[in-house]
Amino acid sequence: MTLPNQHIQYKKENVKKQSSKIKRQSIFKTIKKDPWLYILLIPGILHFIVFKYAPMWGILIAFQDYNPYLGFWKSPWVGCKHFIDFFTNPDFKRLFVNTLSISFYSIIFSFPAPIILALMLNEIRKQWYKRTIQTLIYVPHFLSWVIVASLTFTLFNSTGVVNRVFLSMGRNGIPFLTNIESFRPMIIGQTIWKETGWGTIIFLAAMAGVDMEQYEAAIVDGASRFKQLWHITLPSIRSTIVVLLILRMGSVLDNGFDQIFLMSNSLNRSVSEVFDTYVYIMGITRGAFSYSTAVGLFKSLIGIILIFSANKLAKRVGDSGIF
């Protein structure tokens, strides 16, 4: 009875070895077929190895009481002490609410903005007019957040253009830059103005791949422009929207340091301080390297969980997801 079982096991092992050998050969054949394409991948792979993966060993100091004078190997290990300190810190709830609030408003208002603008641009039939508008709306993306913050300050400070208009209308000025109620709308407005035009590139490329015969058939059936957009264009780019939304979920706790840091001040700090600025303050200005690393690691873990959750949800509703 043992001999047949051994024979079957031996055959299974041979099949596995042969299949792995065939896979290796197919990979080599694929690389040999287009070698220059894979050579072009080398700089990108090196970038990720050197600047993304190699520095990841530094997250270990989140479990140490790191001292620069003692170095990494001699600093004492403290386990999850910094995580416990962070979760029990009174600032944790405020930081979490501020970060999630800005991310929530960004997903609700900033994420659909490039889709809507791309749909509007796709309806323009005069190519020269369409290209001119595209060029103009791409420009804000190339401005740094320092310039955007300076423009905002010039327009919305107490003696700025907006408040002057209010005063000329007989209304009182509004302290936009110091008012906690106007901080989040201002941040979302900056993001929409700066990144919406650039975000249309992906959606316009997806729309370019839509089969024109579908539009011709819809016109024959008497479908209006809005019905064509709703029943043909949007379903055709749904997979692109889902993939970008999944990737966006991974950065829910990442609001961007530059923008928030430049727009925050002592009067609006109760709503402007988020995880990114908190890591900078604790790690750079106060020298709490281990504590700030623990906060950053917490952000990364939440991002990974949200990506997997969003991907699983996308598959359940019928989309392919990203993996």
DSSP 162-221: HHHHHHHTT-----TTT-HHHHHHHHHHHHHHHHHHHHHHHHHHHHHTS-HHHHHHHHHT
Cα dihedral sign for 308, 314, 318, 322?
Answer: negative
Tokens of 260: 């928030």
Rounded to an integer, the average pLDDT of 314-321 is 72
Those residues whose C-beta lies under 8 Å from the C-beta of residue 237, and which sit 6 or more positions away, are 115, 203, 206, 207, 210
Tell me how far the alpha carbon of residue 193 is from its chain's centroid.
17
64 - beta bridge partners? Answer: 77
pLDDT band of residue 14 (cuts 50, 70, 90) is: low
77 - beta bridge partners? Answer: 64
Query: How do residues 227-283 score in pLDDT, each as one tens digit?
Result: 888 888 888 888 888 888 888 888 888 888 899 999 998 888 889 999 999 999 998
Those residues whose C-beta lies under 8 Å from the C-beta of residue 230, and which sit 6 or more positions away, are none
Judging by beta carbons within 10 Å of its beta carbon (0-12, 13-18, 19+), is residue 124 exposed, middle or buried? middle
Q: How far apart (Å, rounded) are the C-alpha atoms in residues 208 and 189?
A: 29
Rounded to an integer, the average pLDDT of 53-75 is 87
Residue type present at position 143? L
Q: 80-316: what CATH class?
A: mainly alpha
Q: How far apart (Å, rounded) are the C-alpha atoms in residues 201 and 66?
A: 44
Q: Are 232 and 198 in contact (CB under 8 A)?
A: no
How much is the pLDDT for 3? 47
How much is the pLDDT for 213? 85
Q: How far apart (Å, rounded) are the C-alpha atoms in residues 108 and 99?
A: 14
Model pTM? 0.81
pLDDT band of residue 23 (cuts 50, 70, 90) is: low
Q: Are 233 and 144 in contact (CB under 8 A)?
A: no
Which residue, chain included where needed, has tokens 């993306």? 141
Q: Are 153 and 255 in contact (CB under 8 A)?
A: no
Q: Are 68 and 289 in contact (CB under 8 A)?
A: yes
Rounded to an integer, the average pLDDT of 64-84 is 89
Q: Are 273 and 256 in contact (CB under 8 A)?
A: no
Q: Give pairs for 285-289: CB < 8 Å, separation 24+.
A: 289/61, 289/66, 289/68
- Residue of 229, 193, 235, 204 lying closest to 121 (CA atoms): 204
Please count the CA atoms within 13 angstroms of the CA of 226 that sit on its side-chain side.
Answer: 0
- The domain limits of the chain are 80-316
Query: How do residues 27-52 score in pLDDT, each as one tens digit?
Result: 777 777 778 888 888 999 999 899 88
Residue type present at position 166? F
Those residues whose C-beta lies under 8 Å from the C-beta of residue 282, and which sit 6 or more positions away, are 288, 291, 292, 295
How much is the pLDDT for 2? 47
